[in-house]
Amino acid sequence: MDVIVVLEWAFDAVLGLGLLWLAWRTLNSPDLFKAIVLFISFGLLMALAWVRLNAPDIALAEAAIGAGLTGALLLAALARLRTTTDNTMPAQLPAGSWFQRGLLIVLLSGSAAGLGYAVWILPSHTSGLSMAVTANLDVSGARNPVTAVLLNFRGYDTMLEMIVLLLAVLGIWSLGGLPPRPERPAVAVLDTFSRFLIPVFILAAAYLLWVGADAPGGAFQAGSVLGAAGVLLLLSGWRPGVRLMQWPLRLALTIGAITFIILGVLTLLYEQQLLAYPVAQAGRMIILLESLATVSIAVTLAILFLGESPDPEEKK
C-alpha cells in the first residue's frame, strides 16, 4: 500500500514540475512553431493534472479545447502569419535596465510568495456547495453533478457563456475575416483517413452528449469533439457552400443561445422564474439544451478555425 502512495506522490511531483518546465519553455521559446507545440503538450499534461485532481469533466474539456482546438487555431494562425509576413521570429522585447528587472523580480516573487502562503493555509478539504448539489441532484434532471450545475443550478451562467462564444465569432468576422485558405488538392491519406474518422467523431460526440447526464461529458466536450471533426473536414479540403454560409450557418451558431432564451422566457411566464424547469420536465429540457448547445459549440469552433468572413466581397 505504501508503495502506491509513494508512486502517486512521485507521479504528482513529476507532473507538477513538468507543467512548470513546459510553461517556461513555451514562454521562452523564440521559435513560434516550437512554442505552439510546447503549448499543446502543456495542455495534455494539464488534462492529466485534472484527472489527478478527480475532475474528469475539466480534464476532457482541457484535452479537447485547451490542447486540441486551441492548438489547431494557433497553428492555423501561424500558417497565415507566415504567408503575410516574412519574418517568423517575434521582435525581441527591449530588455529593461537592471533596476527595472530587479524591481520586477522583487514584486513578482513577493506576490508569488503571498499567494503561495494564502493557498498553503487553505483548509485541505472543504465541501463548498457539493452537499447542496448532492441534496438537490434528484430534482435537477441530471445525475452528473457537473451537468446539474452547468445546465440547471447555474444555467444562467451557461446562457451568458453561449453569448461569449458567439461574440468570438462576431469579433473575427467584424475584422473582415481571414483571406480564404488556398485550395489544395486533398492528400489521399488525409482524405481516406477522414472518411473513416468522421463517423467515429460523430459517434463519440453523440456518446459524450448522452452520457453527460450521468457521467463526465456533456455539451462542451461533445461540441469540441464535433468541432474537431469539422476542423478535420476543413483540413481535407471540404468547404461549406455559399448558401450554407448564409443564414443556416448563422442559425447554427446561435441555436444554443436561442434555446436558452426561449426556455428562459417560457419558464419566466409559467414558473415566474428564469430557467426554473418543472421537476418532471427537467431531464428533457437539459437534454434539449445540451443537444442544441452542442451544435452551436461545434459550429463555432470549426468556424473559428476557418476564420473566413461569410461575405467575401465585403472584405476591407
Partner 1 sequence: MEAILANADWGVIVILLPLTGGIVCFLWPAVSKTAGLITVAAVVLAVAGLGRQIMEHGAYRHTVGGWGAPLGIDLFADGLSLFMLIMTALVGLGISCYAKSYFNPRDAVWFWPVWLFLLAALNALFLAADIFNLYVTLELTGLAAVTLTALTGRIDALSSAMRYLLAMLAGSLAYLLGVALLYHDSGSVDIATLAQRIEPNATVWAALGLMSAGLALKTALFPLSFWLPPAHASAPAPVSALLSALVVKASFYILLRLWLELFADFAEGVSTLLGLLGAAAILWGSLQALRQTRIKLLVAYSTVAQIGYLFLVYPLASASSGLAAGIAAYLAFSHALAKSAMFLAAGNLMRFGGHDRIADLDRAVQRLPLTVSAFALAGVSIMGLPPSGGFTGKWLLLDAAMSQGRWDLAAVMIIGGLLAAGYIFKVLGYAFMQAKEPHDARAVPAGMEWAALLLAVGSILLGLMASEIFALIHPDLVANAGGAVERVWTA
Binding residues for partner 1, how many (CB under 8 A)?
55
Cα(27)–Cα(22) distance, rounded to whole angstroms? 9
Residue 118 engages partner 1 in binding (rule: CB under 8 A)? yes
Give the one residue of 78, 166, 211, 215 binding partner 1; rule: CB under 8 A.
166
Residue 133 engages partner 1 in binding (rule: CB under 8 A)? yes
Interaction residues for partner 1, span 248-267 (CB under 8 A)? 250-251, 253-254, 257-258, 261, 264-265
Nearest CA to 305 among 168, 144, 209, 187?
168
Give the one residue of 44, 74, 161, 215 binding partner 1; rule: CB under 8 A.
161
Radius of gyration of the chain (CA): 23
Residue 210 engages partner 1 in binding (rule: CB under 8 A)? no
Class of residue 51 by CB neighbours under 10 A (exposed 0-12, middle 13-18, buried 19+): middle
Least Å from the CB of residue 169 to partner 1: 9
The residue among 180 and 199 lying less far from partner 1, judged by its C-beta, is: 180
Residue 91 engages partner 1 in binding (rule: CB under 8 A)? no
Across the chain, how many H-helices and E-strands are there? 12, 0
Nearest CA to 217 among 161, 151, 146?
146
* Contact residues for 214 (Cβ-Cβ < 8 A; gap 6+): 142, 143, 144
Residue 103 engages partner 1 in binding (rule: CB under 8 A)? no
Contact indicator for 72, 303 with CB cutoff of 8 Å = no
The residue among 178 and 211 lying less far from partner 1, judged by its C-beta, is: 178
* Contact residues for 207 (Cβ-Cβ < 8 A; gap 6+): 217
Interaction residues for partner 1, span 169-208 (CB under 8 A)? 170-171, 173-176
In 138-211, beta strands by DSSP E: none
The residue among 115 and 187 lying less far from partner 1, judged by its C-beta, is: 115
Give the one residue of 77, 129, 206, 233 binding partner 1; rule: CB under 8 A.
129
HSE at residue 183, side-chain half, CA atoms within 13 A, is: 2
Residues that bind partner 1 (CB under 8 A): 111, 114-115, 117-119, 121-123, 126-129, 132-133, 136, 152-157, 160-161, 163-164, 166-168, 170-171, 173-176, 247, 250-251, 253-254, 257-258, 261, 264-265, 268, 271-277, 314, 316
